[in-house]
Amino acid sequence: MAEQGRKPLISGNWKMHLNHFEAIQLVQTLSYEVDKDDYEAVDVSVHPPFTDIRSIQTILDADRLPILLGAQHCHFESKGAFTGEVAPEMLAKLNVKLVIVGHSERREIFGETDEMVNAKVKAILKQDMTPILCCGETLDEREAGQAESKVETQILAGLHGVGKEAIAGLVIAYEPIWAIGTGVTATPEDAQTMCAHVRSVVRAKAGDEAADAVRIQYGGSVKPGNAAELMGQADIDGALVGGASLEAPGFARIVKYRLS
């Protein structure tokens, strides 16, 4: 169970799914299933594709839903000749609160480097939004005993030049790549070991206050059936949920993990 003071954060990463009509329907259905007690116990964020963000912002405002609006990605520059990209300033104007940075799909498919991830973390913080900094190892790296060092390298590079106070407020998502979208979840013990490692990396870099405050999510095939056990681990403060966030009843069950 997350230490007192670290409010759990359950985030739905919709990836390239759901047009804005489908997205509105999902949020509305979710809002019937999640109630005041849930929002008091857990922060909930949704991360739609860019084309849906304005529509979801309107629904959240109109229905006064305390769901945090998130994005999946952004550029690190404020403006310029970057065809197809979106600036952090544009997201902040839409009341986006959390931005996923360095997801393994962005790193592997779109060639995002640790340097780009670091520049994005800084650009997001500058707009008073919270980065969800992703890290995680491949199966080959895990089997070669390199999981810890891979994650440490990613975190230290992603947080290079970021101050302790800013680090205390951010979210780090540990997502073993072999568990993303595969249906294979890390065991709660393995997930805990790696999330504890993430916290120790933050402790060594930024001190006790930042390490005790930073929220660490686990991601990779989180489902209603395994959420409670994962969330019960000492260093797991939340979940980054892909596939299981695309369907309101299942995502609501994950948000309500504490009742199962």
Interface contacts to ligand PGA, rule CB under 6 A: 13, 175, 180-181, 219-222, 240-244
Q: How far is the CB of 99 from ligand PGA (least distance, A)?
A: 13
d(CA 169, CA 125): 10
Least Å distance between CB 209 and ligand PGA? 28
Query: If we measure between CA atoms, which residue out of 177, 13, 162, 53 comes closest to residue 107?
Result: 177
Catalytic residue among 47, 141, 175, 197: 175
Residue nearest to ligand PGA (CB): 242
Beta-ladder partners of 133? 101, 172
Which residue number, 68 or 222, has a Cβ lying nearer to ligand PGA?
A: 222
User: Which candidate, 250, 257, 258, 181, places its Cα nearest to that of 219?
Assistant: 181
> Among the options 103, 105, 112, 197, which is catalytic?
103
Give the nearer residue to ligand PGA in terms of CB position, either 53 or 239.
239
Is residue 159 within 8 Å of residue 167, measured between CB atoms? Answer: yes
Which of 34, 240 has the CB closer to ligand PGA? 240
Tokens standing for residue 176: 């073993």
Nearest approach in angstroms of CB 242 to ligand PGA is 2
- For residue 20, give every residue at least 6 positions away whose Cβ sits within 8 Å of its Cβ, in sequence order, or none: 48, 51, 52, 54, 55, 56
Nearer to ligand PGA, 67 or 241 (CB): 241
Closest CA to 8 of 192, 174, 238, 173: 238
Q: Is the separation of the CB atoms in 43 and 7 below 8 Å?
A: yes
- 73 part of the active site: no
77 part of the active site: no
Cα 143 → chain centroid: 25
Active site residues: 103, 175
